[in-house]
Amino acid sequence: MKFQAPRGTRDFYPKQMAWRNHLIDAWRRVSIRNGFEQVDGPIFESLDLYKVKSGEGIVGELFHFEDRGERQLAIRPEFTPTLARMVAAQASSLPKPIKWFCTPNLCRAERPQRGRLREFFQWNIDLLGSDSPVADAECIFVAVDLMRDLGLDSQTIKVRISHRETVRHILSKFGVADDMMLRAFELLDRRDKIEPERFVELAAELGLDPNQVERFDQACRYKYPIGRLDQLREHTGIGDQLGDLESLDAHLTDFGIADWCEYDLGIVRGLAYYTGTVFEVHEVSGAERALAGGGRYDRLIKLFGGPDTPAVGFGMGDTVLSNVLVDRGALPEDTLPKPDVFVLAGGDDAARRLPSIVADLRQRGVHARFSYRPTRNLGKLLKEAAASQARYAAIINGDTSNTVALKDLASGEQADVPIDELSSRVLQ
């Protein structure tokens, strides 16, 4: 009987695992240099934890089960409820602002498709305890910092920014009634997934006349550059009801990322807990779904029993990001670890000394490998060393010599080196 990995999951052979580690290392590196501290939580939680945040409808999207104590549990589909529970539990003792990141593996019971799997890894950045727009700008900066770190640029990637209250004011001016506002937000959230004609039909069902529908359609598809909020005012008639966007606009410029960002009123984020600024990171061709999404969620900690706590953050999955890097030719060719030195034995006497020399090198922090082949043919062994992509080959000769021949496999240069200096030479 043959077995396969479950649908929507992945096997990580050495090459794939090396890329996963490379990406998670980048997430960790960028997080730490921006002042965020790493956290994690259990891989499963009470099913009610997810219902509190997302309602009963979330149950169909989860892998859930009953344990031996008849408790209803679910494998985590996201980290934000766990974060909210953790913050609520120790809110009074945690220093503010709270700047946390995590890189958990998550599971969702949904139909696998390009960029969306049932099991995946996600980078979460969250900043809690500050209601200043500078916190929103910093989170956006962290996302941009990662894009730069991975070799992408502002011609490839755009952070599309909006504000839920600003959009609410604009929709109201266009004639959307308060009781239709949620449907209008849902329509905006789906705008890129439905045909333009169908979008217009659904917009008309909000109670808008043809002129209002046209204005609604234009406003949600037009992009406004950072530093040009006057254009947004002119096109929408919103006046001064811009919420935090004016302050955010200045901070994005001060952080030096204005060319990476643009305002897009069609970005509302479908989740009801967002309260202010919302944003998504997109590859400009539109070939992929959003690389990341987030925003301000000032009411969530209180929902989980904690105090009123302003908060902003985002999540970024590994699957869409990897697709974009592959399509853009920005994926490193080889992320497998490469040996510092490949140790060779030129004869039987030398072979008896090989294990002790390799062991000593490893104890000194050297990535050392050797051949398991029985051959003593140095030509074949050097080919094996080169195939391993080692920097050096160390050739042991005889059973009493205090030196080895150290060969630079890139330049071909070779010199005799005292054994007790070998580790320092290969680590230079």
Percent of the chain predicted with pLDDT > 70: 99
Q: What is the pLDDT at residue 359?
A: 97
CA 339/CA 391 separation, integer angstroms: 7
Mean pLDDT of the chain: 91
The domain locations on the chain are 14-41+79-327, 341-426
User: What is the CATH superfamily name and number for domain 14-41+79-327?
Assistant: Bira Bifunctional Protein; Domain 2 (3.30.930.10)
Q: DSSP labels for 264-332?
A: ETT---S-TT--SEEEEEEETT--S--SEEEEE-TTHHHHTTS----EEEEEEEHHHHHHHHHHTT-S-
Here the tokens at position 413 are 């240069």
pTM of the prediction? 0.92
- Least Cα distance to 320 among 82, 89, 26, 23 occurs for 23
Q: Give the tens place of pLDDT for each residue, 314-357.
A: 999 999 999 999 999 888 888 999 999 999 997 888 889 999 99
By residue count, the chain amounts to 428
Q: What is the pLDDT at residue 83?
A: 97
> Among the CATH numbers 3.30.390.30, 3.40.50.800, 3.30.465.10, 3.30.710.10, which is that of 341-426?
3.40.50.800
Confidence check: pLDDT of 227 > 70:
yes
Q: Give the tens place of pLDDT for each residue, 68-106.
A: 999 999 999 999 999 999 999 999 999 999 999 999 999
Distances, alpha carbon 305 to alpha carbons 52, 86, 87, 301, 386, in Å? 11, 11, 10, 7, 60
CA 102/CA 123 separation, integer angstroms: 6
Q: What is the pLDDT at residue 213?
A: 75
Q: What is the pLDDT at residue 271?
A: 65
Confidence check: pLDDT of 192 > 80:
no
What is the mean predicted confidence (pLDDT) over 124-150?
A: 97
Confidence band for 206, pLDDT divided at 50, 70 and 90: confident
